[in-house]
Each structure stands twice: as structure tokens, then as C-alpha cells.
Amino acid sequence: MVVLVDKDTRVIIQGITGSQGTFHSESMLMYGTKIVAGVRAGKQGEEVNGIPVYDSVKAARDAQNANASVIFVPAPFAGDAALEAIAADLNPVVVITEHVPVFDEMRIIHAAKRKDITVIGPNTPGIITPSAKQKLGIMPGHVFSGGRVGLMSRSGTLTYEIAAGMTNAGIGISTAIGLGGDPCVGLTPIEAVDLFNKDSGTDAIVLVGEIGGDAEERAAAYIKDHVKKPAVAFIAGRTAPPGKRMGHAGAIISGSSGTAAAKIEAFTDAGVPVAEKPSDIAKLLKDVL
Amino acid sequence: MVVLVDKDTRVIIQGITGSQGTFHSESMLMYGTKIVAGVRAGKQGEEVNGIPVYDSVKAARDAQNANASVIFVPAPFAGDAALEAIAADLNPVVVITEHVPVFDEMRIIHAAKRKDITVIGPNTPGIITPSAKQKLGIMPGHVFSGGRVGLMSRSGTLTYEIAAGMTNAGIGISTAIGLGGDPCVGLTPIEAVDLFNKDSGTDAIVLVGEIGGDAEERAAAYIKDHVKKPAVAFIAGRTAPPGKRMGHAGAIISGSSGTAAAKIEAFTDAGVPVAEKPSDIAKLLKDVL
Amino acid sequence: MKLFEHEAKDIFRAFGMQTPPGGVAKTPEEAKKRAAEVGKPVVVKAQVLAGKRGKAGGVKFADTPEEAAKHAEEILKMKINNLPVKAVLVEEKLDIQQEIYAGITVDRNERKYVIIGSGAGGMSIEELAEESPEKIIKHHVEPDFGLQPFEAREIAIAMGFSGKNISTLAGFFLKLWEIVKAQDVELTEINPLILTADGRFLAADARLNIDDNALYKHKKLIESLKREPMEQNEREREATQEGMAYVELDGDIACICNGAGLTMATLDAVSLYGGKASTFLDLGGGSDAERVEKGIEIAMKYGKVKAILVNIMGGITRCDEVAKGIVAAKRDGDITVPLVIRMVGTNEEEGQEILRQAGIPFLKTMEEAAQRVVSLVEEGA
Amino acid sequence: MKLFEHEAKDIFRAFGMQTPPGGVAKTPEEAKKRAAEVGKPVVVKAQVLAGKRGKAGGVKFADTPEEAAKHAEEILKMKINNLPVKAVLVEEKLDIQQEIYAGITVDRNERKYVIIGSGAGGMSIEELAEESPEKIIKHHVEPDFGLQPFEAREIAIAMGFSGKNISTLAGFFLKLWEIVKAQDVELTEINPLILTADGRFLAADARLNIDDNALYKHKKLIESLKREPMEQNEREREATQEGMAYVELDGDIACICNGAGLTMATLDAVSLYGGKASTFLDLGGGSDAERVEKGIEIAMKYGKVKAILVNIMGGITRCDEVAKGIVAAKRDGDITVPLVIRMVGTNEEEGQEILRQAGIPFLKTMEEAAQRVVSLVEEGA
């Protein structure tokens, strides 16, 4: 078993005719992802990278027996695209788009919850299961190697950094999930921990967090109470000054909660070793595996 | 078993401090209805007819262990009152108020459906179970006698007329339900037929309909396929001229569907005898019982 | 409340929907001016709150302003479905690629709004449903969620559109839904919605009924409509003001009852015994003496009335109040025709006592009462 | 986007919410005029996008217009949290019965809006949460359903209100929710909301942040705000225009990376090896050569920079483009301090080849790179 995405995942790309959709669908195809259709209203009958395009998600799903979606639709329309994928029972729905209004995020997350569908993102690099050669996202596939460690992160490039470090150290990944950098995302760290904890193909968990919010603290508490599998963590932003917005909407510190120190303390308290620098993750994993 | 309302029904009156709420709560108390609380925001601590008033439905429910509601709140606020009752898990929710905007009606009906709660009305005389001495509504209780015939109607006074005729003929009623005179009501004739069909305390069913819509035709088709208990019907508006609005929002005929003739034909086709005049209902019942 | 086509289109435009260029005219001269402003061939359309005006000759095409004036003159003299035409709408005659049907109404069975669309517009939805039911697309709207853009596109696709038309038509439906929600619309129909040769969607006709129960939210709109008094006679107007349902019919017996169902059943009973009703008058619930008297007064003003049947089943309405109203009407000389009363229910005995003391007879069942009033009229004839 | 108190109140009033009488003043004279218009004792409040202005002396009471002018003069000279005060709000000093806290913000864990209310307003919600957590009422709003009137009343009741205040306060929360939805508000806080001695609820303070991702829907509002250029220096402004995240710090090493998480981790690594960052510069995803050169250019304008660390993990960003940008910056003479490059990922080999041909060294891991740049700065010192 693998988490959320396996060899039977049949993917549609919403917004495939846009520059992002075209570029990344090619990159996904090259990686091995089973992309079976693209969607763009008004473009049915066209092809992008050899992938047939349909007017609607339902049409694409019915014609190609698809069961998952990756969304590259521009921010003002991404919420609608996600609702369309959810209405068509695709699962997971991976929303790559950044700058999605927070109200739209709340709507799609709860629409998905009502149907037990997993939304990954928005503002995520996506999800990758290396052993199945399935990448639903924009990450450079070659830095991820197959194995038995689950990786989750709120960050993009930092995830690649850590995955590359693991790969270099000979530690493979069961599934890596970019949870998304926005305040409201479909899959929370706790939910992702829970998925990995239940996955028979995952022996250990890596959590990559950053300052802002208290999602890491909550995940740490959850691990302490519910998770027996070994886990290690990295937190970015130890030296970030308070009150400054550093890129991500999430990366702003208010009050004492949300600081790197608070997060590191929570993980330490939960018995989860925290790496000082990204390359230490591999070392810590070797200790716990 | 009886339908929806029995001796354990503990009723709150929303809008009890208004003239309608005050008048009818007294009348209900006199009939025997177990009214345990009234609701009117801002009036907690007061009493109406000896009934304690609370600021919210939740407060009333929690203090008095209530499980059903009757709403007399004015039309612009009736939708909100019904949503409050539904949120507090009261069941049934009887909306006496007339002139409720149709969009509000749709909202409350579907909010109730999500929680498996029955809304009766809006624009209904209510529901009465004579054997339990429980009347949740504004009907004159003395014209209803206890027995084993289920009565449902889209009309108000016409229901009393028919109930009185049954009582005079010595035929008692298990439960009588005013479905409500508006185009959108919480309990449709089909659903009411189904309740009576499943009720071990009901031996026969009386349907009182009127021109407009095709709810009666649908109920007739449902009876034909699913109901073995004897049923009889009355339809008001045989002589109503087409295109004229006669009182009820529902009572407007458009095209061929919705005419008295079409409804009578549907019932006849389903083996449901249709009375020529209200007093014939009792005679028809004696034939089928 | 039903809106005229031009009023509905004012609302459509306020929400950013496209309609053909043009304007309203109340005289042939105004029609000429409107047509000249359009500067192209026009269509002159009767503004009446009735369907099938096309078949009644209320829609005519004109190539010149003069011709438009001529058509307007004819149309402004017409009555359609018994309603006088008081204005025409003069609009550009469109270069049609396709006629589409689009509407939103309440589905009583689902208890949801239903969006109805068809690529085969131009005829009535009833005809369409009979001739090509497979061409009618229906989509139910979840009340709390509203119409989603992707759903609107799915409707357009199901209606047979492709390419850019999908999003354009979806945008039209989204606007129409926005109007339905914002204005508490009970029914709207655009038939035809025109897809022009140059690829635009324009509402060529417009039907819009606002939920009467929600009018209290739209006082500004109602004021802005500057409606002339409804096409009602004095009696109808009076009954409306009193909140009574009043309909005049061709017979001679005025039926005054409480409750629409009971009133209809009373008319049916009169008919069953060979009589014909002149009046449907539903007093509504909880009438007091004054209101009962007022109802009798209004009913008596209709020249056809030869007898009155008061049939009251007391629920909220109290029989003693009804009796007082009848006594007052008698005393004031309002009643100049035979009167039959049937009155049971709440405070029945008190009411009957009041009638007895005033020497007014009454009956116990509606069948007796209906029979009696029919025979009284027959005797009088 | 954060709004000033007076801007937020303009929106509040546009939605029919009550605020104390008064107005904005940019000079002591204007403040005097505003106070005279109010005609009662006033409060003079610094308009800055920073909390705790009260503690910083930015809120003062005045009994006369002259006193208001004097306070305004002092406040307009202040800097609060390093931000200059450019305007004051002069408002009637209210006759307070009770101070209330009211706010709506996004709950990241529930992923819903949460309405927060407390009958014990006046202090910050953090202090309140510490001192009297039981006095803070929270209500989560279902995104598709919105705040219902009965829920608003339940909040008011839970906050300890009774009688008429329940419906009045509920009405306030419903308006606030309406504003949140209509204006895509991310966070709003009214602290205090004042219940006056005569029973009205007035927003005495107002904080309102609009979701940056939804600003595209509110162009008219943004224009109407007539904002002076943000309190940004030229470099910050330039980076904002380019869509880069740029923060200046107290150290001397400029970190130019792609992705916020990686940039933060790079700053952390620099710190770990004993260095101090001068610059957080996240180029974002998919930068081309031109954008990379622009980033280096902006970073070099900050006087404190003694070395540059470029740390790129190629994903959407292609290493060949990054290399081209660095080569161009070198060639154009933009870089006058030591430069350390670490660059891996997409098109890594092509990129490295470009650097090699230009004679620019690079490293393979971020730890090496961080160590190198720290030692270069130490050597230079």
C-alpha cells in the first residue's frame, strides 16, 4: 500500500492548455505519471503533449476512466476547478495554483470533506510516489527515490532539498506530500501523519515545517499520543525576525506561538528529533531506522 | 405507533410572545399539548400562559428537554427560526407562518433533510394526534377524534371540514397533517403517504388536495406502486377557472397538469376513490374499511 | 409580482446582462423616435403580462421608423388575453444564429430552483417538452450552495454548445442565477435568448416574476417600477388592500368563506347542485366582525350577485366574530339579496346565539347550505 | 492588505455599521476643526498600521478643539513601531457602558472563519485569552452557509448579553460577517466595540486586513483608498513590483534563493555557521535569467551587504536560466562583493556548464555554501 497515489492513479490535468499546465504535464509524463486527459472548457478535441483535452472534468473522467486531478488553473478560477473535480469524485485533487483566495480554499476543503475526498494544497508542489513512478505535481522527480520513508512538508524547494539529501544518503521515500504553503490547506500535518502511520509501506516519517501557525505543534502532540513509527523533523525560520512576512502567507510570527523555538520544543517533547540543517535529516533517519 | 407526534412529544413555541404565539399556545395547552417552553430572544425569564420563555431554542431545549417546535415567528424571520430549531435537533419542526419567501423555504427544507428532520409547512395548520391529545398547530382540536385513519391535506379549513365530517360519522383519526399551502413544503404528499403506510396505528389514508402542481398525481402513482392500505381522496377546485390565482400560492393552474380533472384521474387510476364533496369522505371510508 | 418585459430587461442590464438596443414607447410617435435611435430594422412588441402575444399579433417587425410607428399604433389599440396594451418595446431586430430557451423556476417536488435550458428556443417550454423532451436540460441548484461556474458550463455543454460559447453561455446562466437570488425571483424565462451571428448572447425576451412573499425586501425596486394601478376593478383593488383573495366569475352566487381550499370546495359544491358562483372570496384566517362585514360589502358591489353563501369553518376564525359581522352587514343594509349561512367550529355556539337573536337563520353542513342557496336563486329567477 | 482604522471605518459605515462621529486630520488645524465639528470631548488617535499604539502614547483625550490640536501635533510627530504617524482620527469620546471585543479571522486548523467575541474588551485578545479564557466565545462559520441570525444571537447570549442587547449585538456580528464576505477580509477586529450608556453598539476601533489573494476583486476599493506609497524603501518597493519576497535584516550576507522555506533554511544555515544575513530574497518559482539578475541587482543596493549567497534548488526554476542571470550580473558589474553559488536540480548540468565557461565557481550543498560565504565575510572583515 502507498499513500493516496499509486500505480492505478489515472490523472487529469485541469488547465492543461495554459503554459504551466502544458509544461508540467510534459514533465509528469516524462516521469511516468499516468495522465489520461486534460480539461479546458471550449478546447475539447485538441491535444496537449498527446493528451486528449475535454470540455469538462466529467467528460474527461467518463471518457478516460480518470480518478485523480492536478489543477493548474489560475487563482481566480482554481476554486471552481477544484469544486468541479470534487463533484466528479476525483480523489486526490491536487491544487498546484498559488494565491487562491482563502474563502475559496475553505469552500473546496469542506466540499471535499463532505465526500471524503483529499485535497492537496492549494499552493503545493504536489504529491509523488516514486515506486509507482507517479508524480502529481511540479517537483523535480529525480531527487526522489523509492523507499519506505514518508515525507511531508509545507514548503516547496526545501522539500526537494531534503528529498535530495535523503536520496544521496540512500534513503528512499514511500510518498512525499507537499501540504501547501497557505494558511488553509486540504491536508493538515496531523492528517498526513495519520495517513503515513496507517500505511504499511511507510516505516518512518519526516516532517518539514516552518514558522507560523501551530500546525506543527498539533502534529507533534498527535504523534506523541498516536504514533509508534519513528519520526524526525526540520523547521525552517529559526533566525527569522518576528513580525516580518517572509514569502509564504504562513510564515509570519505572531505572539509566542508559531515560532521555530515553540515548534522545536513541541517535537522534542514528542520524542521527534529535530534536524539543525536539512542535510541532518538523513543522519537522524539512519539513527531511528 | 403514531406518526411524527405522540405522547412523548415535548414542544417549544417559537415566537410565543407574539399575538399568534400567545393565542395558539393557550389553545394548544387547553387541548392537552405538552408545551414545555417558549422562545423569544431578549425575553428570557418571562412567562406566557405559564410557559417559561427562553432567549434561544438551545436554551429552551436544554432547560426543558424539548424535542419538537411550533413556529409562529413573522415571515421575514421564520426561516431563521426554523434553522435554529433544526440546528437544535428538534423534530418535527412545524412552521405555521404563512408568506415565507420561497428561497427560505428551500433552505430550511434541505437543512432539515441533511439531519433527517421533518419540517411540516410552512403555511400549515399543523399536525394533530388526537389519541395522544397532542396538537402542534392552530386547528380546532374538537373536530378531530382519535382513531385509525390518517389524514393529510394541503388546505386548512377544508381539513377541519373533512375531519369534522369523519368525527360526525364516528371515524377517528390517527394523525392529521396539514402539509402546507405553499409550492415548497417540508413534507410532500408522497412522504406523508409513506409515513402513514408504515404506521401500525393507521388502517386507511385520506388525501385532501387542491388544484395546482402535480404533487397529488405523484402521490397517486406512489400509492399505486407501494401502498396496500385503502386510501380515499378529495380534490378542491373542480370548478376553478384556469389561470386565476385563488388564494393559495399553489392554487394556480398552468397548462393541463395541475387541474382537478388530472388529479382525479390519477387517483382513480391508482384505485383511490375520489369524493365529490367533503362529506362523502366518511362514506367512502366506510366502504373501504 | 409579474414584471413587464421592459422592466425585467432593466433589471437584466443592471446586472450586466446584454439585451438588444431599444426602448419603451407609449405612443406611435415615441415608437418612431425609439426606432430612429436604434437606426436599424426593429421589432415592436406589446408590453402585456400575458403569454402568446406573438400569436395574438402583438409582435411586429419594421424596417423604418415610420413603419414602427404604424405597428405601434395598431398594437397600442389591442387587448391581449383581455388586457389592454399600454406600451410597446421597440428593439433592434437581431441577426440570429440560434434561438435558445433559458429559464429558472421553482421545482415544487425537489424543492429547489431548477435551471432549464434548451438549444431549441423560440417556442413555449410546454411545446418544447412535448416535441423534443431530450433537448431540455435541467439542473437543480442546491439552495445553500448556489449555481457554480462549472455547473453552468456543464449546462451549456449539455445544451450542445462548444468552443467559446460554453463559457459565454455559462456566464449568462450565472448572471441569471445572481438575479434570481438578489431579486427573489420565482420564475424567469428568456425565450428566446439569441446567439447572434457575431457570437453574442442577448436576451430578446424576458419574463420575470418576483416571489410575492419576498416583496418586502424589494421596496426600492417596486417604487422604481412606477407601476400604474394594477389592471383591477374597484372591488378587486379593495379586496387586495384588505388582504382577501377575491375572484369574479360568471355565475350569480357569491361564496364568502375562510381558507382557499374551503372556498374552492364551496364553489364546487354550488356547482354540484346546479348553481354557478359569481364570486370566490376567501376572507383568510382570523377575521373579526369588521372584516367579515367588509367582505360582504365588497361581494355585494358586483352586479351579478343574486345570493350570498357564507360558509365558515371556524379554526382561527371565531364564529361569534363572523356572526357579529353578518349582523352588522344586515343592520347597515349592505345585503339586498338572499343570504345563506353555514357556520361551525370555534365559538360555534356563541355565534349561533348571536344570529338567533338577530333572527338570522343558519345551517350546519355545507352541502345543505349549497343546496339551499342554489334553490333560492332558482326561485328568484 | 492592512487598512488604517479610518479606512476600515469607512467600509463599516458603508455597510450600515455605527462608528463614533468624527473624521481624519493630517494637521493640528484639521484636528481642531474635526473636534469642533464633533462639538464634544474627543479622542485623538494615531493612524498607523501597528498594534499597541495606546501604550506608545498614540491615543489621547481632549475636552476642547484646542486641546485636540495640541495632542494631534504631538502624535503627528511620533513614530510607532518604527512607522511615522501621518494622520490622526478625531472622534467623539463615548459614554461607555461596556467595552466589548469582537473579531472574525481564519482558523487554520478548522479551515473556517471563526467569530470571536468577549464581553471583556479593551485589552488585546492574547491578554484576554491568558487572563480569562472562559470569557472568549468562539463560533466557527460553515463556509457555504455563512453566519445565521440565530447563531449571531447565540454568540451574543454566550457573551453574557440579555434583553434587547441580544438582537442588537447579533445584528452587529451579522453586518461584520457581511463585510468579511463582501470584502474578502482575512482578519477584522473591533476592540473595543462600545456599548454606550444609551444602549447603542459602536465600533470605537477597527482593524481590517483584506486577503491579498482576493485583492483582484476589489480594485475600486483599493483605488478609493488613495494610499500613499507603502512605507517601503526603494529596494523593497522594487522587489514587491517584481513579485519577490524581500526582507532586510541586520547582518551582512544577502541570501538569494527560490522558495520561502529554502530561503529561511538558508538564513538559518548561515546563522548556524556564525554568519548573519542582511537579506531574505525569495525569487519565487520559475525565474528566468533576467529575473535572477534583477534579484542580484536589488540585493546589491542594500549598503550592509558584504557577500552574496545564491542558493537554488531547481524545480520549476531551471539552473541554466539561473546561471545565465548570474553571468549577466557579473558581466554588467552588478556584483561588487564576494559571491557564493550553490545550484542543483532541474537542468543542473547545463547551468553548471554555463558557470564553468564564465569562470564562476559553484558548490553542491547548501551547508558548504553557507560555510564558505560566512568565512569569506570573516576574511574580508
Q: What pLDDT score does A254 carry?
A: 47
Pick the CATH number of A11-120 from 3.40.50.880, 3.90.550.10, 3.40.50.720, 3.30.200.20: 3.40.50.720
pLDDT at A249 over 50: no
Q: Give yes or no for a contact between D265 and D369, defined as CB atoms under 8 angstroms apart.
A: no
Extended strands (E) in C126-231: 137-141, 185-196, 201-203, 207-210
Grid coordinates standing for B216? 397529488
Query: In this complex, which of D148, D151, D157 lies closest to B55 when CB atoms are compared?
Result: D157
- Are C162 and A42 within 8 A, CB to CB? yes
Domain boundary among D230, D260, D288: D230
When scoring C137, C142, C148, C150 by the number of chain A Cβ atoms within 10 A, the one with the most, hence best to mutate, is C150
List of chains touching B (3+ CB pairs within 8 A): C, D
Q: Where are the alpha helices (DSSP H) in chain D?
A: 5-14, 28-38, 65-75, 125-131, 149-158, 164-183, 219-224, 234-242, 260-272, 289-300, 319-331, 348-357, 366-380
pLDDT tens across B120-134, in order? 999 999 999 999 999
Distance of residue C140 Cα from the nearest chain B Cα, in angstroms:
12
Q: How far apart are CA A200 and CA C340, in angstroms?
A: 86
Q: Which DSSP string corresponds to D309-338?
A: EEEEEESSS-HHHHHHHHHHHHHTT---S-
Q: Which residues constitute the domain of residue D56?
A: 21-93
Q: How far apart are CA D114 and CA B278, in angstroms?
A: 56
Note whether C136 and C284 are same-domain residues. no
Cβ contacts of D144 on chain C, cutoff 8 Å: 144-145
Interface membership of D182 toward C (CB under 8 Å): no
Cβ contacts of A110 on chain D, cutoff 8 Å: 111-112, 142-144
pLDDT at B249 over 80: no
Q: What pLDDT score does B250 carry?
A: 43
- Are B102 and C345 within 8 A, CB to CB? no
Interface membership of D144 toward C (CB under 8 Å): yes
Mean pLDDT of D144-167: 97
Note whether D4 and D121 are same-domain residues. yes
Q: What pLDDT score does A258 carry?
A: 80
pLDDT tens across B188-246, in order? 999 999 999 999 999 999 999 998 888 999 999 999 999 999 999 999 999 987 766 66
Note whether C35 and C181 are same-domain residues. no
Distance of residue C337 Cα from the nearest chain B Cα, in angstroms:
23
Domain boundary among D178, D198, D230: D230
Question: CA nearest D124 in A: which residue?
Answer: A255
pLDDT at A245 over 90: no
For chain C, the residue count is 381
Q: How far apart are CA D178 and CA D170, in angstroms?
A: 12
Q: Which phi and psi angles does D259 have, rounded to 5°?
A: 100, 135
- Are A84 and C150 within 8 A, CB to CB? yes
Query: pTM score > 0.95 for this model?
Result: no
Q: How far apart are CA B110 and CA B186, in angstroms?
A: 9
Note whether D125 and D220 are same-domain residues. yes
pLDDT at D226 over 80: no
Q: What pLDDT score does A250 carry?
A: 43
Q: What pLDDT score does A253 carry?
A: 45
Cα D195 versus chain centre, distance: 29
User: What pLDDT band is residue A146 in, cutting at 50, 70 and 90?
Assistant: very high
Domain boundary among C189, C208, C230: C230
- Are B83 and D150 within 8 A, CB to CB? yes
Interface membership of C216 toward D (CB under 8 Å): no
Q: Which residues of C are catalytic?
A: 101, 189
Give the pairing type, strands B231-236 and B274-275.
Answer: parallel
- Are A81 and C154 within 8 A, CB to CB? no
Q: How many domains does chain D have?
A: 3
Q: How far apart are CA C266 and CA C272, in angstroms?
A: 10
Note whether C253 and C289 are same-domain residues. yes
Q: What pLDDT score does C28 carry?
A: 97
Q: How far apart are CA D349 and CA D356, in angstroms?
A: 10
Residues of chain C whose pLDDT is less than 70?
Answer: 228-231, 381
Torsion of CA A93, A99, A100, A103, to 10 degrees: 140
Question: CA nearest B183 in C: which residue?
Answer: C108
Distance of residue B63 Cα from the nearest chain C Cα, in angstroms:
30
Query: In this complex, which of D109, D126, D367 lies closest to A218 when CB atoms are compared?
Result: D109
Note whether C159 and C257 are same-domain residues. no
- Cα–Cα distances (Å) from B70 to B7, B14, B175, in that order, read 16, 6, 16
Of D110, D116, D118, D62, the closest CA to residue D88 belongs to D62
Note whether C282 and C204 are same-domain residues. no
Cβ contacts of C149 on chain A, cutoff 8 Å: 77, 80
3-state secondary structure chain A: CCCCCCCCCCEEEECCCCHHHHHHHHHHHHHCCCEEEEECCCCCCCEECCEEEECCHHHHHHHHCCCEEEECCCHHHHHHHHHHHHHCCCCCEEECCCCCCHHHHHHHHHHHHHCCCCEECCCCCEEEEHHHCEEEECCCHHHCCEEEEEEEECCCHHHHHHHHHHHHCCCCEEEEEECCCCCCCCCCHHHHHHHHHHCCCCCEEEEEEECCCCHHHHHHHHHHHHCCCCEEEEEECCCCCCCCCCCCCCCCCCCCCCCHHHHHHHHHHCCCCEECCCCHHHHHHHHHC
Q: Give yes or no for a contact between A12 and A66, defined as CB atoms under 8 angstroms apart.
A: yes
- Are D261 and A105 within 8 A, CB to CB? no
- Strand partners of residue C113: C106, C141
Query: In this complex, which of C148, C151, C166 lies closest to A55 when CB atoms are compared?
Result: C166
- Which position has the higher pLDDT, B1 or D157? D157
Question: CA nearest C251 in B: which residue?
Answer: B239
pLDDT at D302 over 80: yes
Mean pLDDT of B148-174: 95
Question: Could you tell me which CATH class the domain B139-288 is placed in?
Answer: alpha beta
- The verdict on ipTM greater than 0.90 is yes
Q: Give yes or no for a contact between B285 and B279, defined as CB atoms under 8 angstroms apart.
A: no
CB pairs under 8 A between A and C: 35
Note whether D343 and D365 are same-domain residues. yes
Give the pairing type, strands B134-137 and B204-210.
Answer: unpaired
Q: Assign C376 to helix, strand or coil.
A: helix
Region of residue A6 (phi > 0: left; psi between -120 and 50: alpha; otherwise: beta):
beta
Q: Assign C297 to helix, strand or coil.
A: helix
Grid coordinates standing for D106? 481564519
- Give the Cα-Cα-Cα angle D130, D134, D135 (nearest 5 degrees): 90
Question: CA nearest C273 in B: which residue?
Answer: B277
Cβ contacts of A56 on chain C, cutoff 8 Å: 150, 153-154, 157
- Are D166 and B59 within 8 A, CB to CB? no
Question: CA nearest B58 in D: which residue?
Answer: D154
Question: CA nearest C239 in B: which residue?
Answer: B247
List of chains touching A (3+ CB pairs within 8 A): C, D
CATH of the domain at D262: 3.40.50.261
pLDDT tens across B55-71, in order? 999 999 999 999 999 99
Q: Which DSSP string corresponds to C322-357?
A: HHHHHHHHHHTT---S-EEEEEEETTHHHHHHHHHH
Q: How far apart are CA D130 and CA C166, in angstroms?
A: 55
Query: In this complex, which of B42, B59, B87 lies closest to D163 when CB atoms are compared?
Result: B42
pLDDT at B22 over 90: yes
Distance of residue B65 Cα from the nearest chain C Cα, in angstroms:
29
- Are B59 and D157 within 8 A, CB to CB? yes
Name every residue whose Cβ is closer than 8 Å to that of residue C106 and which is 6 or more positions away in sequence: B102, B106, B183, B184, C112, C113, C114, C186, C187
Cα B198 versus chain centre, distance: 18
- Are D148 and B56 within 8 A, CB to CB? no
Q: Which residues of B are catalytic?
A: 248
Q: What pLDDT score does C334 carry?
A: 83
Q: How far apart are CA C143 and CA B107, in angstroms?
A: 6
Cβ contacts of B214 on chain C, cutoff 8 Å: 108-109
CB pairs under 8 A between A and D: 163
Query: In this complex, which of A42, A56, A81 lies closest to C154 when CB atoms are compared?
Result: A56
pLDDT tens across D229-270, in order? 556 788 999 998 998 999 999 999 999 999 999 999 999 999
pLDDT at B2 over 80: no
Grid coordinates standing for D126? 492574547
Query: In this complex, which of A106, A160, A184 lies closest to D345 when CB atoms are compared?
Result: A160
Candidate list D5, D7, D91, D101, residue with the active-site label? D101
Note whether C82 and C117 are same-domain residues. no
Distance of residue A80 Cα from the nearest chain C Cα, in angstroms:
6
Note whether C184 and C163 are same-domain residues. yes
Cβ contacts of C145 on chain D, cutoff 8 Å: 144
Q: How far apart are CA B288 and CA A227, in angstroms?
A: 67
Q: What residues does CATH 3.40.50.261 cover in chain B?
A: 139-288
Note whether D147 and D5 are same-domain residues. yes
- Are D112 and A106 within 8 A, CB to CB? yes
- Are B83 and D148 within 8 A, CB to CB? yes
pLDDT at B80 over 70: yes
Of B110, C139, C103, C154, the closest CA to residue A80 belongs to C154
Q: Give yes or no for a contact between C44 and C87, defined as CB atoms under 8 angstroms apart.
A: no
Cβ contacts of C150 on chain A, cutoff 8 Å: 56-57, 80-81, 83-84, 87
Cβ contacts of B55 on chain D, cutoff 8 Å: 153, 157, 162, 166
pLDDT at B254 over 90: no
When scoring A239, A244, A279 by the number of chain D Cβ atoms within 10 A, the one with the most, hence best to mutate, is A239
Extended strands (E) in C154-306: 185-196, 201-203, 207-210, 245-248, 253-257, 277-282
Cβ contacts of D144 on chain B, cutoff 8 Å: none
Note whether C28 and C104 are same-domain residues. no
pLDDT tens across A184-228, in order? 999 999 999 999 999 999 999 999 999 888 899 999 999 999 999
Question: CA nearest A19 in D: which residue?
Answer: D286
pLDDT at B251 over 50: no
- Are A57 and C150 within 8 A, CB to CB? yes
Distance of residue A164 Cα from the nearest chain D Cα, in angstroms:
9
